[in-house]
Amino acid sequence: MTVWFDVEDLFHYVQTGHRRTSGIQRLTVEIYRAAHALDAGRGEVRFVRHGTGPDLFTPVAWDEIAAQFARQAEAGPSAPARPQAGRQTARRLASRLPDELRKPLVAAAVMQAQTAGELGRFGWNLLRPRPRRRARTQEPAGPGFGELAQPGDTLLVLGSPWFRQDYGAIARWLRDERRMRFGLLVHDLVPIRRPEWSHIGITRTFEDWYAAVLPFCDFILANSRHTAADVEAYTRETGIALAGPVQPVPVGAGFGPDGDGEEPGHAGLPTPGSYVLFVSTMEARKNHALVVRIWTALLAEVRAGRRAAETVPDLVFAGRIGWLVADLVQQLDNVDWLGGRIRLVTNPTDGELRALYAGCLFTVFPSFHEGWGLPVTESLAAGKPCLCSDAAALPEAGGALCRYFDPENLPAAYAAVCAVIDDRAGLAEWEARVRREFRPVPWAETAAAVLEAAARRGA
């Protein structure tokens, strides 16, 4: 039996202008890398992109996938940390306008940037010209997917192929014409279960896609017990029949090859030991607003003379600006990102992320809802404690080594942060425990569980 991984969404992600891999892409690339290594050249693990011929798929070599995402992970320096001089100038000019002009103009500018990103991600197929045949490295010249794929083989979708609204027809074709099995890894159902944290278009895309695809799944995998339960609840509510229980798989920790020797220096990053780190796309669901309010309160205590300035570390956001945060970004711009005490490192490379993790005091992750929580396990894998939300699957990711708070409870979250920054000896002990006790799941274990599930379901 051959397991075919559909990797088209990874290339689509790059083609729609994303400079760095986000959580889903990072996870899937690591699984593909490990599955390819486990296959050891036997040809039982293969990769496909979407073709234009009658078979719908075109084999693609692993080397092309690896090269593409090595370039994306490490290409070029990240964008400078905000606030930037150009933005400061624009803000000063805007501040001279009356409120009835300034507020709509600022909101429109932020929303324009967010909308452009969302159109690129979810509307690419509708807006782009008709596709031209792209040059790509394929499997060695010879038989294509139509000749190589056999009845009983499995096609697995691990990523984010929601841009293909006809995927239900593809799954039906695999079942009826190719007599293949079809499997799916679900990362979360946030746009469906908690639509308040997504654009309405994303929610509709998810609803339509899953309604079309889930009925054709021979098996469904999930990245956590929480996600598995969420999928089963959703399918019961909507009347979608599943072939069997949704199966959680262990999620690996760490990202990308570590390389040889020491990490190079990274100009422009904060001084090691001076900051707390929050790795995430900046969007409403991730709850950046909560930590902004905490740092605002901490600095207010400094100004009032109730706290020494040196007890308040800087706060570093590492990621990109996403959606539903226009008001928060405007508020931060208005106060010069708390006088520079909050910084945004945009689109960090893998090397910069490693340096940021290595240099932080600890990490925070106050998200309202996660299917797993990759930054939590990344933090622990880097030997850094994580102060984390207790919502959804995050306790599965952090286990006993994280400390938790209610993301809806500002006073409790504030107290949790103060307890850490005001007890540096206790923080050092916590870090030592993380380094001593955390056992990261190897990505090979994740890949083996995925491959084993495909084989077992086909038995």
Q: Report the pLDDT value the prediction gives residue 459, as an integer from 0 to 100.
A: 43
Cβ pair 68, 14 in contact under 8 A = yes
Find the range with the poorest average confidence among 73-82, 383-392, 414-423: 73-82
pLDDT digits (tens, 9 = 90+) for 59-108: 999 999 988 877 665 555 444 455 443 444 444 444 455 555 555 554 44
β-bridge mates for residue 344, sequence order: 82, 317
Question: How would CATH label the architecture of 3-61+127-252+444-457?
Answer: 3-Layer(aba) Sandwich (3.40)
Q: For 4-13, how does the pLDDT look when each residue is reduced to its tens digit (9 = 90+)? A: 999 999 988 8
Domain 275-439, CATH homologous superfamily name and number: Glycogen Phosphorylase B; (3.40.50.2000)
- Residue 29 has a pLDDT of 93
Q: Is the pLDDT of residue 323 over 50?
A: yes
In terms of C-beta density within 10 A (0-12 exposed, 13-18 middle, 19 or more buried), how is residue 82 classed? Answer: buried
CB within 8 Å of 358: residues ≥ 6 apart: 263, 272, 382, 384
* More confident of the two residues 46 and 116: 46
Fill in the amino acid letter for 444: A
What does pTM read for this prediction?
0.84
pLDDT score of 99: 56
- Split at pLDDT 50, 70, 90, the class of 199 is confident
Q: What is the pLDDT of residues 139-163, one digit of tens each?
A: 445 578 988 999 999 999 999 998 8
| CA end-to-end span of the chain | 10
What tokens does 9 get? Answer: 């969404």
CB 107 within 8 A of CB 28: no
**CA–CA separation, 50 and 174 (whole Å):** 13
What's the pLDDT score for residue 281? 94
Which residues, 6 or more positions from 439, have their beta carbon under 8 angstroms from its beta carbon?
none
* Paired tokens of 416: 């949790």
Cis peptide before 83 (omega within 30 of 0): yes
Strands 275-279 and 247-248: unpaired
Task: Please choose, from the candidates 386, 362, 383, the residue with its C-alpha nearest in 3D space to the C-alpha of residue 373.
Answer: 386
Reply yes or no on whether the pLDDT at 443 is more than 60: yes
Phi, psi of 370 (to 5 degrees): -140, 145
For residue 457, the model assigns a pLDDT of: 52
Residue 268 pLDDT: 83
DSSP-derived secondary structure letter, 56: S
Q: Where in the chain is the domain with CATH 3.40.50.2000?
A: 275-439
- Both tokens of residue 367? 């998200």
Q: Indicate whether 364 pLDDT > 50.
A: yes
- Report the mean per-residue pLDDT for the chain: 85
